[in-house]
Amino acid sequence: MIGIAIDGPGGAGKSTIAKTLAKRLGFVYVDTGAIYRTVGLYMSRIGVAPEDAAGIEQNIGGVHLGIRYENGEQRMLLDGEDVSDKIRTPLISKYASCVSAVPAVRDFLFVTQRELAKKNDVIMDGRDIGTVILPDAEVKIFLTASAQARSKRRFIELREKGEDVTLEEVLADMRQRDHDDETRAAAPLKQAEDAILVDTSELTLEQSIAAVEAVIRPALEG
Ligand code: DC
């Protein structure tokens, strides 16, 4: 099986690019952030606070998650319920960030992620795919963009959804999440030594997809 790892900070375009290229290449797209979000949703439902690392660790064994693919779209299940839409809220973003810093959660999800890559050709996106989950991936990409560029894109997305936010708020939130992801003790966000850096700050989405495809295609053929 072939594994392609795409890591990088939030808002760099990882999921859109990975999803598009997975379709083109006939690979399964695995959004690992959605898996952490589902754990976050579970903790919020049972009333464990996001900051309560001990409570999260105690309850991780109670999480029954499932991943299903419908027309190439990844759907997340929690206790059999499709929660794919419920995990896309600011509260669950906060929970996901907190649960992902707990080593017991990362250990629990390690096997799930590895199994997916064992059974399928995958494009997997996340924060530690090239460094921890698939250290032997055929292709590793670190996809990034400046905090300004990423915030601007997120701002436009949120405004389109009708959310009342300012660019300054989105930028501050982005910087905080970058800081949390980069400085946590468990699997911090960092570029794998053998990953190729793609910076999309000055690129449109189409150009970003083409830049990533230009890295992947020769690596698969070579
Ligand atoms: O990519 P995202 O925003 O859906 O990720 C949600 C959170 O999960 C984010 O705070 C980073 C964390 N995460 C992680 O620690 N490791 C991954 N492989 C994927 C996401």
Q: Which of 29, 31, 36 should be mutated for ligand 1, with most atoms under 8 A from CB? A: 36
Ligand 1 midpoint to CA 194 (Å): 21
Strand partners, 29: 123
Residue carrying the six token digits 């083409």: 210
pTM for the model: 0.93
> Is residue 10 within 6 Å of ligand 1 at its C-beta?
yes
> Is residue 184 within 6 Å of ligand 1 at its C-beta?
no
> Is residue 106 within 6 Å of ligand 1 at its C-beta?
no
Q: In whole angstroms, give the CA distance from residue 142 to residue 8.
A: 5
| pLDDT at residue 193, rounded to an integer | 95
**Tokens standing for 166?**
């300012």
Ligand 1, atom nearest to 37 Cα? 6
Neighbouring CB atoms inside 10 A of 115's CB total: 11
Ligand 1 midpoint to CA 90 (Å): 13
Q: In whole angstroms, give the CA distance from residue 210 to residue 191.
A: 21
> Is residue 100 within 6 Å of ligand 1 at its C-beta?
yes
Ligand 1 midpoint to CA 210 (Å): 24
Its sign, for the CA torsion 78, 188, 69, 12, is: positive
Q: Going by CA atoms, what residue is nearest to atom 1 of ligand 1?
A: 33
Q: Going by CA atoms, what residue is nearest to atom 13 of ligand 1?
A: 33
> Is residue 32 within 6 Å of ligand 1 at its C-beta?
yes
Question: What's the burial of 219, exposed, middle or buried (CB within 10 Å: 0-12/13-18/19+)?
Answer: middle
Do 144 and 197 meet the contact criterion of CB atoms below 8 Å apart?
yes
Digit-coded pLDDT (tens) for 61-101: 999 999 999 988 899 999 999 999 999 988 998 899 999 99
| pLDDT at residue 222, rounded to an integer | 73
Ligand 1, atom nearest to 15 Cα? 1
10-residue block means of pLDDT along the chain (222 residues)?
A: 95 93 96 97 98 98 95 93 93 92 96 95 96 96 96 91 92 90 90 96 96 95 80
Average pLDDT across the chain, whole number: 94
Q: Which of 39, 127, 153, 158 should be mutated for ligand 1, with most atoms under 8 A from CB? A: 127
